[in-house]
Amino acid sequence: MTPTSAHQGPASTQAGDQTTESSTPLRVGLLGCGVVGSQVARMILSGADDVRARVGRPVELAGIAVAHPDRPRARLPQDLFTADAQALVARDDIDIIIEVIGGIEPAYHLIMSAIEHGSSVVTANKALLAAHGHEIYAAADAHGVDVYYEAAVAGAIPIVRPLRESLVGDEIRRVMGIVNGTTNYILDKMTTEGVGFDRALAEAQRLGFAESDPTADVEGFDAAAKAAILASLAFHTRIRGSQVYREGITDITPEDIRAARGMGCVIKLLAICEMEPEGVSARVHPALVPEDHPLGVIRGANNAIFVEAREAGHLMFMGPGAGGSPTASAIMGDLVTVARNRTRGVAGPPQSIFGDVPVAGIGTVHTRFHLSIQVRDQPGILSQVASVFARHGVSLQTVQQSALEGASKEDGWSASLRMVVHRTRESDFEACLAELSQSPIVNGDPRFIRVEGM
């Protein structure tokens, strides 16, 4: 389908009309002008000649909607600003809307209004796409316009378009990655410097890697939204953020970090999307990853995504996953693509073609686990623990017993068991945990973390 707005039609095939078309500017409306939005605005204004050369016609910034239009903003013309976002998206002379305000509302209604008025959309809003992406894609297809969102997942790393276009003819088997720079920085700090979570978080906030309210990052909400987008693309189905299993990193301790190092591993917050026999599984949680795994070497606030495909094999995408400049770079890439499509009078590939694939719950997932429990240091304890695993069909890969630091024989609980189990179904492992938690030979709740990449 072709764009349906009155101000944009298919490019003419006549030489004279082509000359007229190429000199007619494409006009862009920008929703939001924070760290990312201001960078995008400056890139459009300062790089006008380069963008024109890449698109084949001028691209102009026609308006910027913000909450406080009278606030001075360096190097941006004041007459571009407006407080009326709805009026901006409804303007007949707007061809493309860029949305960087974030959140669900009013972003959802503004984007839908822009589409209904014939504008293509570029957005970085992963929370919105995880919640309402499929409604937005269907509306865009119905109106013959584009919705591009490379910046919504992993900043400047090109992952959305490879999954959406380059690998669409292949069979994706698994997507696993570090998609939140804040948590990777915190875990890296805990690993390299031996500090606790609170201190590492404070340092991340001081450097601007974490928000004053870091909940969305450290509790895994941000990564879960990105996992929903990745799973939807990889497996051509509808996955919402609320369907992604989620755990954060707030319970990770220096002891966990040391235990990982003793196994030659590091701890990463991973987003994992894969096809299980019961359907598509999408999950976010901390995991032990071997130090020499491609994801194990990712340091600081960087992101990385590991893709396994039937024919293409193993692919790795890595780089800065957040920040004004990387995110703005991804937005500008989408803007150029959308502008080229508008110039040709076409839209990109449709996105509302999905299969009816069920979503598999976390209990169906098969993975490895590292388990730590406190037990009494007496004969027969290890065999009693092993019998619990055997009853539930869970196989032990390694077992290490050591004296519990700071404990004494008089305390009764003087030994620590650390075990790695072979790849097993999560529900079976949970049954083991439930029995161990009630056992008189175990002190307190067992601690566990999943193991990936081994």
What is the block-wise mean pLDDT of the chain (454 residues), using blocks of 10 residues? 41 40 88 94 95 95 96 90 98 97 96 98 96 94 95 89 92 96 95 95 91 94 96 92 96 93 95 93 97 94 95 93 83 96 90 77 94 85 91 92 62 78 96 92 90 88
Structure-block tokens of residue 262: 């003793």
d(CA 173, CA 274): 6
Q: Does residue 106 have a cis bond before it (omega within 30 degrees)?
A: yes
- Tell me the fold of 365-451: Alpha-Beta Plaits (3.30.70)
- Answer yes or no: is 31 a known binding residue: yes
- Answer yes or no: is 35 a known binding residue: yes
- Answer yes or no: is 268 a known binding residue: no
Strand 279-290 to strand 120-123: parallel, antiparallel, or no bridges (unpaired)? unpaired
DSSP collapsed to 3 states, the chain: CCCCCCCCCCCCCCHHHHHHHHHCCEEEEEECCCHHHHHHHHHHHHCHHHHHHHHCCCEEEEEEECCCCCCCCCCCCHHHEECCHHHHHCCCCCCEEEECCCCCCCHHHHHHHHHHCCCEEEECCHHHHHHHHHHHHHHHHHHCCCEECHHHCCCCCCCHHHHHHHCCCCCEEEEEEECCHHHHHHHHHHHHHCCCHHHHHHHHHHCCCCCCCCHHHHCCHHHHHHHHHHHHHHHCCCCCHHHCEECCCCCCCHHHHHHHHHCCEEEEEEEEEEEECCEEEEEEEEEEEECCCCCCCCCCCEEEEEEEECCCEEEEEEEECCCHHHHHHHHHHHHHHHHHHHHHCCCCCCCCCCCCCCECCHHHCEEEEEEEEEECCCCCHHHHHHHHHHHCCCCEEEEEEEECCCCCHHHCCCEEEEEEEEEEEHHHHHHHHHHHHHCCCEEEEEEEEEECCC
CA atoms within 13 A on the CB side of 309: 18
176 strand-pairing partners: 272, 306
- Answer yes or no: is 113 a known binding residue: no
CA atoms within 13 A on the CB side of 322: 22
Structure-block tokens of residue 383: 């065999």
Strand 366-375 to strand 415-425: parallel, antiparallel, or no bridges (unpaired)? antiparallel
Q: Give helix 197-206 / helix 181-193 axis angle, nearest 10°.
A: 120
| 226: annotated active-site residue | yes
- Tell me the fold of 162-320: Dihydrodipicolinate Reductase; domain 2 (3.30.360)
282 strand-pairing partners: 273
d(CA 64, CA 94): 12
- Answer yes or no: is 36 a known binding residue: yes
Place of tokens 């050369």: 53
- Answer yes or no: is 280 a known binding residue: no
Closest CA to 185 of 318, 293, 299: 299
- Answer yes or no: is 211 a known binding residue: yes
Which one of 189, 226, 268, 409 is the catalytic residue? 226
- Answer yes or no: is 34 a known binding residue: yes
Q: What is the pLDDT of residue 320?
A: 84
Structure-block tokens of residue 197: 């979570």
**CATH number at 15-155+325-344:** 3.40.50.720
Q: What is the pLDDT of residue 410?
A: 54
Residue extents of the structural domains in the chain? 15-155+325-344, 162-320, 365-451
- Answer yes or no: is 323 a known binding residue: no
d(CA 236, CA 230): 10
Strand 265-276 to strand 279-290: parallel, antiparallel, or no bridges (unpaired)? antiparallel
- Answer yes or no: is 195 a known binding residue: no
Q: What is the pLDDT of residue 295?
A: 95
Q: What is the pLDDT of residue 355?
A: 73
Amino acid at 243: Q
